[in-house]
Structure 1
Amino acid sequence: MAVSPVMNKSNASTQPATNQGNSAADLTQSFMTLLVAQMKNQDPINPMDNNQLTSQLAQFNTAAGVEKLNTTLEGVGVMVNSMQQMNASQWIGSSVFIEGDSVISGAQGGNKDFAFNLDSDASKVAVTLTDRSGNAYTADIKHAKAGVNKYTFDDLVNFTPSAPSLDASSVFKVAFSAANEDGSTPNITSLKKGKVDSVSFTNGGAKLQLGLNGSVPIGKVYLIE
């Protein structure tokens, strides 16, 4: 784009100040201000290229459109976050599974469920129950699918060395390991069960209050019942 080779002091002093903002609207205003100044001082023998002008204007319009789109998406994000927080209040009284060590208890009202999450299918998952004395009992679950898998104590069979008894005093820690016939080992995450007592709201989103299990963001919940 050609401009006048030299601008004298009188011309320079009369040029309008350009906007120093960084938004698309500010940059477009600065461009238009400079464009008017260039048109007033262009070399008549070598005028500005219209195609170049059109291309630059199109780029500024695109920038303005992207900025408006980003603003719209930010508003949608705020709205979605607000809806999630309101919906989270409906989880009070529900049971959820989050990452943590599973425990099975034979006490009345005790937890007999356990769950784990797989990042891919597994031919076999070894489930090991360890009692308070350190005695370990292992059973296998065949052909577990990717995602959350939930079972109860009664689903376990073929224990090694023998099946443990689950009476009112029994408490077992549960551990998992996954394997495939080709030797690969899918990533497995142990999940623990908790009950939602209440929901708190923070700038980072809603958090579920799980009593003795502490609090957890709703994004950390693997399964809700």
Structure 2
Amino acid sequence: MSLITSSTQAASQKDSGTDAITQALGGTELGQMFTKLLVAQVQYQDPLEPTDSSTFITQLTQLSQTESLQSLQSQLSTQSSILDSLQTMQLGSQVGSQVMVHASSVLLESSPVRAMVNLEAGAQLQLQLTGADGKLTTMDLGTHGSGDVAFAIDPHSLGLPAGRYDIAVVDANDSRHAVEVVGRLDAVRLTAAGTVALQVQGLGDVSPTSISRFAGQAA
């Protein structure tokens, strides 16, 4: 066998081995990069102190784990997108219904806005509305026992001009209670970021996680 033939066969075996490794790794960009590094590492290792084969196995295992994690991340991203689409369709069927939303602000126009708080124990309550100018308007809600306490915010009777107001309900101990505002679900949409946003009358865009209750169609 000539030297040229031997060299050709060696090169062919090397290429064949490289292709086999690449195929075993799925032909991915990460696999190809690892193959090149592996070949270079073998080619330039010290012949008197060759690299332990267990090192290559460890590197290959680490690469396999990395690719598995990337694949899992891709699958989770796809599943998340599917769930968002399903959620959008399900919420879309509720457009036109009355919903209750946990809110810290509300848009007051001419009509009264309905709201509610849920008490774990009896308390004397006060509604606080703060306008964009910082002016505070209060309304006594009376003393109530545990459970749901419904009330209405009438901007006309309170002498409030149209606008957005921060809303809070506090008790005699200045403890705040979560406020649920009633509004009509006007639209459901997917944002540019891929998240679901709900457009609720009097509140604007809110997250689906802010919805506390579905109250059904308005009478």
Q: Displacement of 1:116 after TM fit?
A: 3.0
SS of aligned partner of 1:56: helix
Change in Cα spacing, 1:54 to 1:206, as seen in structure 2 (3 Å) is: closer
2:170 to 172, 177, 185: 177
1:208 to 195, 198, 215: 198
Structure 1 match to 2:42: 39
Gaps of 5+ in 1: 1-15, 17-23, 145-149, 154-165
Q: Displacement of 1:196 after TM fit?
A: 1.8
CA distance in 2, matches of 1:40, 1:135: 81
- Whether the 8 Å CA contact 1:125–1:176 is kept in 2: the answer is no
Q: Displacement of 1:122 after TM fit?
A: 4.9
Q: Displacement of 1:42 after TM fit?
A: 3.6
CA distance in 1, matches of 2:117, 2:75: 39
CA distance in 2, matches of 1:135, 1:51: 74
Q: Displacement of 1:37 after TM fit?
A: 3.2
1:199 to 188, 196, 207: 188
> Between the two proteins, what is the percent identity of the paired residues?
23
Structure 1 match to 2:13: none
User: Is 1:224 matched up with 2:217?
Assistant: no
CA distance in 1, matches of 2:99, 2:38: 62
Question: Aligned letter for 1:218?
Answer: P
CA distance in 2, matches of 1:81, 1:135: 40
- Whether the 8 Å CA contact 2:168–2:177 is kept in 1: the answer is no
User: Is 1:65 matched up with 2:68?
Assistant: yes
CA distance in 1, matches of 2:33, 2:206: 49
Question: Aligned letter for 2:76?
Answer: L
Structure 2 match to 1:21: none
Q: How many matched pairs?
A: 169
User: Is 1:189 matched up with 2:178?
Assistant: yes
Q: Displacement of 1:213 after TM fit?
A: 4.1
Q: Displacement of 1:138 after TM fit?
A: 4.3
Deviations 1:166-205 (A, max 9, x none): 9xxx9579852258xxx894x5332211012343443344
Q: TM-score, normalised by structure 2?
A: 0.58
CA distance in 2, matches of 1:65, 1:135: 58
Q: Displacement of 1:209 after TM fit?
A: 3.3
CA distance in 1, matches of 2:81, 2:34: 33
SS of aligned partner of 2:212: strand
Gaps of 5+ in 2: 1-17, 19-26, 129-136, 161-166
Q: TM-score, normalised by structure 1?
A: 0.57
Structure richer in helix, relative to its length: 2
Change in Cα spacing, 1:39 to 1:197, as seen in structure 2 (3 Å) is: closer
- Whether the 8 Å CA contact 2:100–2:211 is kept in 1: the answer is yes
Q: Displacement of 1:100 after TM fit?
A: 4.3
Change in Cα spacing, 1:33 to 1:142, as seen in structure 2 (3 Å) is: same
Q: Displacement of 1:34 after TM fit?
A: 2.7
Change in Cα spacing, 1:93 to 1:41, as seen in structure 2 (3 Å) is: closer
SS of aligned partner of 1:151: strand
Alignment of 1:114-193 (within 5 A): 114-116=115-117, 122-128=120-126, 136-143=139-146, 150-152=148-150, 175-178=168-171, 185=175, 188-193=177-182
CA distance in 2, matches of 1:184, 1:129: 11
Change in Cα spacing, 1:184 to 1:56, as seen in structure 2 (3 Å) is: farther
- Whether the 8 Å CA contact 2:126–2:138 is kept in 1: the answer is no
The CA RMSD measured in Å over matched residues stands at 4.0
